[in-house]
Amino acid sequence: MKTVITYGTYDLLHQGHINLLKRAKALGDYLIVGVTTDNFDLERGKLNTHDDIIKRIEAVKATGYADKIIIEEYSGQKIDDITRYGVDIFAIGSDWEGKFDYLKEFCQVVYLPRTEGISSTMIRSRESVKIGLVGTGSIAGRFIPEASKVESADVVSAYNPDKKSCAEFCRRNGIAPQISFDALLASCDAVYVASPHYTHYQYVKASLLAGKHVLCEIPFVLSTSEAEELLSLAAEKNLVLMTAHKTAYCPAFRHLLSMVKSGIIGDVVDINASVTTITNEMSHKMDSRFSGGSFSENACFPTLPIIKLLGADYRDLRFYSKMKNGVDIYTKALFVYDNATASFQVGLGAKTEGCMIISGTKGYIYVPAPWWKTDYFEIRYEDQNLNKKFFLPYYGEGLRYEIREFISSVLSKGNVWKLLSDKELLAMTDVQEKYLSGESLIRLG
């Protein structure tokens, strides 16, 4: 009996996949098909799969060519599978010509002709979401190359009241400058709000009223009543309103949260995290007139794990800020819960180690700096032999993960699990509002 093996993602299964499976089956008597897991695809840079693994497996099964279906989870697995299943022939499409020659040491390698004119990418790109940018600063500049990595995300235009810098930004990035915000709204299906944070509320509201989906930079808005109003407006109009909190969508951070929630370090007793980024005093980020300061700029990051893991029912919350020219150049926040404590340090005019430690009754998690965009963390125990290290991909600037989530949400009409729930977003906005109100704030000289 001749055993053949082939692999693929098989997203939105199409005629090209079917032809390939048919040809692979014809090479022998028994066909094994390896379907890639979502995680493995993420690792090899495929950020755009439309169907989840169950759907993709079902689709392969329905072709009737596979005698056995396995899942492919890691690089190097092909060698293990070939030896484990006594495979005679490894077959793959000709787009991979030469790439799997290293398997010739283990079995025969056959590159089968690829079907021209059809691909999952082509099918996916039929649905595109046109995105208009408000604000053309540094984060908007990083957004464009990141969006280009996400299928169906099509950045088309930008608006900035400063016409000259808008034109220059658009020329550099090959998109259309818009002379007014209304013109921007008319040019797109969705708006990415990347303007200074004190302007978010007005831009988000106007975009929603115009029927556009919104991805808004953090901090979202400066008060819970504004946040509530915008979230209910989006719900009423059936539009997606998401914040661009890159940490919330970062694969390693998501994995870490699930592990902590599953009890791997026991009960959480304390969280401490910091984010400090020394910033020019002349920057608008340091200007009190524009709600600048360390808290507004950086607190969204450490507030996220605290709210996600310990919730919003803290008994006490206090802030200590070192001030300069009316803004906090450094702030420490201290949360007291019934069963735990949490704290964070943020700074634009002071520097400290940017790590995060989540302490539990069985062990702790250590995430080295910069923890808010990490691809690595460790679980540490009293018995060091039990310690574990975790590596998960974090490509480029990491904005592609939030953009992917936003696009999937828009295309599935909001039918995806919100990785940052409205409740969590409101609780985070509330912390921000408490700080700005000066309630429980001790100013240090």
Q: Contact residues for ligand C2G (CB under 6 A)?
A: 7-11, 16-17, 20, 36, 72, 92-93, 95-96, 114-115, 118-120
CB of residue 184 to ligand C2G, shortest distance in Å: 36
Minimum CB distance to ligand C2G smaller for 48 or for 298:
48
Minimum CB distance to ligand C2G smaller for 118 or for 264:
118
CB of residue 157 to ligand C2G, shortest distance in Å: 32
Work out the angle between the directed axes of helices 422-437 and 224-236 (0-180°, nearest 10): 150
- How far is 227 from 218, CA to CA, in rounded Å? 12
Answer left, alpha or beta for residue 123, where phi above 0 means left and psi between -120 and 50 means alpha.
alpha
CB of residue 49 to ligand C2G, shortest distance in Å: 9
Minimum CB distance to ligand C2G smaller for 39 or for 173:
39
Minimum CB distance to ligand C2G smaller for 90 or for 364:
90
- How far is 266 from 382, CA to CA, in rounded Å? 13
- How far is 198 from 220, CA to CA, in rounded Å? 9
Centre a 10 Å sphere on the Cβ of residue 88 and count the other Cβ atoms it contains. Answer: 17
3-state secondary structure of 118: coil
Closest residue to ligand C2G, Cβ-based? 93
How many Cα atoms occupy the beta-carbon half-sphere of 381 within 13 Å?
11
CB of residue 404 to ligand C2G, shortest distance in Å: 17
Minimum CB distance to ligand C2G smaller for 82 or for 155:
82
CB of residue 2 to ligand C2G, shortest distance in Å: 19
CB of residue 264 to ligand C2G, shortest distance in Å: 30
DSSP 130-172: EEEEE--SHHHHHHHHHHTTSTTEEEEEEE-SSHHHHHHHHHH
CB of residue 274 to ligand C2G, shortest distance in Å: 40
Amino acid identity at 307: I
At 417, list the tokens: 């699990």
CB of residue 106 to ligand C2G, shortest distance in Å: 15
CB of residue 119 to ligand C2G, shortest distance in Å: 5
Q: Whats the size of the chain, residue-wise?
A: 445
In 3D space, the residue among 200, 140, 154, 168 whose CA is nearest the CA of residue 397 turns out to be 140
Minimum CB distance to ligand C2G smaller for 77 or for 440:
77
CB of residue 129 to ligand C2G, shortest distance in Å: 22
Minimum CB distance to ligand C2G smaller for 16 or for 135:
16
3-state secondary structure of 339: coil
CB of residue 101 to ligand C2G, shortest distance in Å: 13
Dmax over Cα atoms in the chain, in whole Å? 81
Minimum CB distance to ligand C2G smaller for 118 or for 334:
118
Tokens 């283990």 identify what position? 106
Minimum CB distance to ligand C2G smaller for 9 or for 157:
9
For the chain, what is the radius of gyration of the CA atoms?
Answer: 25
Minimum CB distance to ligand C2G smaller for 100 or for 320:
100
Check if the beta carbon of residue 231 is closer than 8 Å to that of residue 303. no
In 3D space, the residue among 194, 205, 199 whose CA is nearest the CA of residue 227 turns out to be 205
- How far is 419 from 244, CA to CA, in rounded Å? 11
Omega cis (within 30) before 177: no
Check if the beta carbon of residue 235 is closer than 8 Å to that of residue 260. no
SS3 of the chain: helix, strand, coil, percent, to 5: 40, 25, 35
Minimum CB distance to ligand C2G smaller for 96 or for 198:
96
